[in-house]
Amino acid sequence: MSSAQLVLETAAAERYESLLRVSQTLTSTRSFEDLLSILARELRRVVEFYYLGVGIYDEKAHSVSLKLFDDSGAPIEAPELAPEQTLTWWVYQRQQPLVIPSVEGETRFPAAVELLKECGVLSICTFPLTTARRRIGALAVGSKHPDAYSKDERVFLSLVADQVALAADAALNFKASQRAQAALQRERDRLQLLLEVTKQVVSNLDLRDLLRATSASIRRVMECDAAGVALPDCDGRQLRVYALDFPESKGMIQEDRVISLENSPLGRAFQTGEPVLVNQKDLGQAGSEESAVVEGEGIKSSCHIPLVSRNRTVGVLAVARLGERVFTQEEVGFLTQVAGPVAIAVENSCAYRQIADLKDKLAQEKLYLEDEIRAELNFEEILGESAALRRALEQVEKVAPTDSTVLIYGETGTGKELIARAIHDRSARRANSFVKLNCAAIPTGLLESELFGHEKGAFTGAVAQRIGRFELAHRGTMFLDEIGEIPLELQPKLLRVLQEREFERLGSARTLRTDARLIAATNRDLASLVNEKRFREDLFYRLNVFPVYVPPLRERAEDVPLLVRHFAQQFSRRMNRTILSIPTEAMNALAAYDWPGNIRELQNVIERAVILSNGPVLRVELPDLKPLAAGANGGLKKQGVLDEAERKQILAVLEETHWVLSGPDGAAARLGLKRSTLQYRMNKLGVSRSTHQRSAD
């Protein structure tokens, strides 16, 4: 055997030994990239090459994936080429090797030839990668020398290609199997998520807890960094983050954060009812405050799914990622499926909460009504014909149809609450609640809770949620008696309710809105309190929109007989007695008394008189009135001076009219009184024509 033959046989033996090693190594490698790197290192021992490439053709996507390596096994960056521009496409279609002895004269593949020239390749052999089951792609080996590969080397490389095809098929199958398993596991996780959400919908009525648990599950299954649900506020003008699961948050996005419907993806999804996808490019172009917050949190992509139930959007489900991975349409479709039961949960919980709130409100209204029934109103209607009372009632008629704030002022016991009720009953709110609160009767520490309500656990003793009076008076009337007794530190919150129509319960950050008309009453001089820095000036001006003065009983003495008869009938009916008449002496004494306690005092005196009366005649203990009269408004002396001045005025007018009482030129018209009122005043003051003539004589 010649030395040349020995060299050839030795080279052939080394090649096949190398082929065996390649075959053994490739069969144990599952990673396609590792497979090619190993192939490049093993192959260079027996075949001279500078360039090794493998192309995998995907028929469904109509694309060629190129993997290129140099003779050391290091990867070379591969450009993206159209399939028809690659050697792989030619070999794949024809299923035969492609040998190019010199790339200089090759014109069929200009883009590929340009790449080969850039890599320094002058000749190349390309072999099909094919198994008994399918076509895969092509294996290419290139050299820096022209016509570098002999026939034997091409035969050997063809065998290598067969081994690579088997290994590549196994690796691709393994990768496909992994993808299938991952997809199956992902599908199982998603089905489990749907099941969990459905179970929570039917078993959890606490909306915040439900949405927090759901958000955590969605974030885990969808491989996101953040997940949350935003719901509209009561007025529907903005969204609020109701539940959030964002472990890596920097604190810029938190629960209860308010989000505008305008210029925000959440608002767009809520208003259109369609999913909204946002990527980093969209964030950069938005330029809004919301975009700045999202960018500050490091969010690169987000998906916003409307929660739609019964053709009505009740909120938005939002998920976000900090990485570069964007949300696919397949993920959007699944999130839309998840949004279905979440929307039902939101709607059910809102309905449950509304029912609970209405139940609480009805219970509170029942208590108020029971209190009113037990207390019984001072009188069933406003009684009186005096000019002072008529002026007050005219003001009531004017202001009642409006929604303006009313300040009723007057002495204690004049019937300010009755005036407030008259305003409510003549307003458009009369079908809704009239809620009252005496600010002086509630301890300072509890007044804020009474007005605005509190959450469970807001303070010691707050064992349950409580609805405040302003919330209860929604669309009705809120009557605050003794408004001057409100503590200075609570007045700003009351001012906010008047100006903004919103407040928060104690222990809650959620802003509530109320459409309650405010009527306030006081027996104090609020202007003086403002000067003494005991009442806020801005609150005073906000309350004093339409002041109504309720006159004391001493300024409407002509109404006393009417009130006396009314109370006598009321108490006699209650005590199962019969009162048919009231002595003139008693009536005159009652009319002459100043009544510092006003109507409330008169009511008490008549109740005592009915108790003391044994027959049909009302028995009034006149001595009981004298000490009170003597001490009222400076005593009897001052009252006598006033009566004398009034007597002189009436006599002067009577003389001018020749004692004609009625008619357009009569004394009653000149004095601005009714004829009956003038007669009453004349009897009270002892003015008569005969008495005057005797004194004149």
The 3-state secondary structure of 539-555 reads HHHHHCCEEEECCCHHH
In Å, how far from its chain's centre is CA 262? 15
Work out the number of other CB atoms within 10 angstroms of the CB of residue 673.
Answer: 19
- Residue type, position 655, single letter: E
Architecture of domain 3-176: 2-Layer Sandwich (3.30)
How far apart are the C-alpha atoms of 67 and 35, rounded to whole Å? 11
Please measure the distance between the N-terminal and C-terminal CA atoms of the chain and give it in whole angstroms: 182
In 3D, which of 135, 131, 139 has the Cα closest to residue 161? Answer: 139
Q: Read off φ and ψ for residue 579, nearest 5 degrees.
A: -115, 115
Which CATH fold topology does 376-551 show? Rossmann fold (3.40.50)
Phi, psi (deg, nearest 5) at residue 319: -130, 150
Residue 581 and residue 615: Cα distance in Å, rounded? 10
Q: Which fold has domain 204-352?
A: Beta-Lactamase (3.30.450)
Q: Do domains 3-176 and 204-352 have the same CATH topology?
A: yes
Which residue ranges make up each domain of the chain?
A: 3-176, 204-352, 376-551, 556-694
Rg (CA), the chain: 48
* Distances, alpha carbon 387 to alpha carbons 542, 558, 674, in Å: 29, 10, 9
Please tell me the pTM assigned to this model. 0.44
Please state, in angstroms and rounded to a whole number, the distance separating the CA atoms of residues 98 and 125: 6
Q: Which helix (H) or strand (E) holds 245?
A: strand 238-245
Distance between CA atoms of residues 242 and 228, nearest Å: 8
pLDDT at 7: 46
Q: Is CATH 1.10.8.60 the classification given to domain 556-694? A: yes
**pLDDT-flagged residues of the chain (< 50):** 1, 4, 7-8, 286-287, 370, 373-380, 627-638
Token code pair at residue 401: 């149809």
Nearest residue to 317 (alpha-carbon basis) of 240, 209, 215? 215
Residue 130: per-residue pLDDT: 92
- Report d(CA 282, CA 338) in Å as an integer: 25
Please report the pLDDT score of residue 274 as a whole number: 92
Q: For residue 400, what pLDDT is reported?
A: 92
Position 690 scores a pLDDT of 60
Task: For tokens 């690169």, name the residue.
Answer: 300
